[in-house]
């Protein structure tokens, strides 16, 4: 298998619901990683959204799998891994927002690259390694530009002289680095929603969202050595099977998951939630 790295940039607020019953003030909470506690997009939610956004083609069944009632279910050849939070915007008194991340998030990302044997641009990787070595005190996040008296959420920020321009295309402009505990403690926006019945307000409820401009990363594992015999010809034509035996060429021709594309993740599509840009990062 070959593992490719992708990023998700949310272009509108995102709500991928956890589905858990809770008795908190927030009725609908977002999915969170079981270890870090940070927002995540589970692989099943991610895979479903990518499938819905794909062009209608027999390639869909090959990539994602098929469940045809008249035939046995066909497993997808691509493996999708959950999306982890990379950075998110936080409010500031000096700029509309700074893009916040933490040392632990960057360290986990670098470990992810190593574990999955993913190659990215060397300048970007070096810049991320340098960022992961910056020491950050709890309660004192750092920015990387000369500004005085900067407040990030409820924290007074310090200034670090590390050059982070190489990270802007990946993490976003106006970078801020938090201690892990502070980053985890940052609250997400909570929006009030109103349930109407025949035009009459029946119930006010509250929904947690990941704010627009947030960034996630995930991987897709793709087969590299394909055997024509594994394909069910009910799902793919001879021409498609021939193309799929050379995955790189198939990707190139179909441009599937390789170039920038727009995908809607999670709930509330009709009110504009979850509209996101997906981009391939790995070489």
Q: Is residue 67 part of a domain?
A: yes
User: Beta-strand (E) ranges in 121-274?
Assistant: 142-143, 151-152, 155-156, 158-159, 175-178, 190-197, 200-208, 215-222, 261-264
pLDDT at 233: 45
Top-confidence residue, 73 or 121 = 121
Which tokens in the block code for residue 51? 């499938």
Statement to judge: residues 229 and 263 lie in one domain: yes
Statement to judge: residues 56 and 95 lie in one domain: no
Statement to judge: residues 70 and 126 lie in one domain: no
Overall number of domains in the chain: 2
Q: Is residue 21 part of a domain?
A: no
Calculated CA dihedral for residues 11, 164, 120, 109, nearest 10 degrees: -70
> 260-275 pLDDT, tens per residue?
688 999 888 888 899 9
Statement to judge: residues 12 and 100 lie in one domain: no
Statement to judge: residues 115 and 54 lie in one domain: no
The fraction of the chain above a pLDDT of 70, given in percent, is 76
Statement to judge: residues 172 and 225 lie in one domain: no
> Among 187, 203, 234, which residue terminates a domain?
187
Range of the domain at 242: 1-16+43-81+211-283
Q: Is residue 221 part of a domain?
A: yes
Q: Is residue 35 part of a domain?
A: no
> 39-94 pLDDT, tens per residue?
999 999 999 998 888 766 657 777 888 766 545 567 788 899 999 999 999 999 99
Statement to judge: residues 179 and 94 lie in one domain: yes
**pTM, 2 dp:** 0.85
Q: Is residue 125 part of a domain?
A: yes
Statement to judge: residues 76 and 92 lie in one domain: no
Statement to judge: residues 77 and 103 lie in one domain: no
Q: Token pair 């990302």 is at which residue? A: 109
pLDDT at 16: 87
> Among 141, 171, 187, which residue terminates a domain?
187
Statement to judge: residues 4 and 92 lie in one domain: no
Statement to judge: residues 92 and 71 lie in one domain: no
């Amino acid at each position: 298998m070959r593992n490719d790295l992708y990023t998700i940039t949310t272009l509108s607020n995102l709500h991928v619901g956890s589905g858990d019953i809770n008795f908190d003030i927030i009725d609908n909470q977002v999915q969170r990683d079981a270890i870090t506690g940070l927002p995540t997009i589970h692989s099943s939610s991610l895979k479903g959204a990518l499938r819905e956004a794909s062009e209608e083609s027999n390639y869909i069944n090959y990539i994602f799998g098929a469940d045809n009632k008249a035939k046995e279910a066909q497993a997808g050849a691509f493996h999708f891994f959950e999306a982890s939070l990379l950075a998110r915007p936080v409010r500031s008194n000096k700029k509309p927002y700074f893009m916040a991340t933490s040392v632990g998030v960057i360290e986990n990302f670098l470990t992810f690259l190593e574990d999955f044997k993913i190659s990215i641009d060397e300048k970007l990787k070096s810049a991320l390694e340098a960022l992961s070595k910056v020491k950050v005190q709890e309660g004192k996040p750092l920015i990387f530009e000369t500004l005085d008296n900067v407040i990030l959420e409820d924290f007074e920020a310090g200034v670090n002289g590390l050059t982070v321009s190489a990270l802007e295309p990946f993490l976003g402009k106006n970078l801020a680095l938090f201690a892990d505990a502070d980053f985890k403690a940052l609250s997400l926006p909570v929006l009030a929603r109103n349930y109407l019945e025949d035009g009459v307000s029946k119930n006010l409820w509250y929904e947690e969202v990941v704010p627009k401009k947030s960034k996630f990363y995930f991987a897709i594992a793709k087969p590299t050595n394909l055997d024509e015999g594994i394909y069910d010809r009910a799902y793919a034509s001879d021409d498609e099977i021939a193309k799929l035996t050379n995955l790189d060429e198939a990707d190139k021709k179909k441009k599937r998951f390789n170039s920038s594309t727009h995908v809607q993740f999670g709930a509330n599509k009709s009110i504009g939630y979850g509209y996101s840009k997906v981009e391939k990062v790995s070489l």
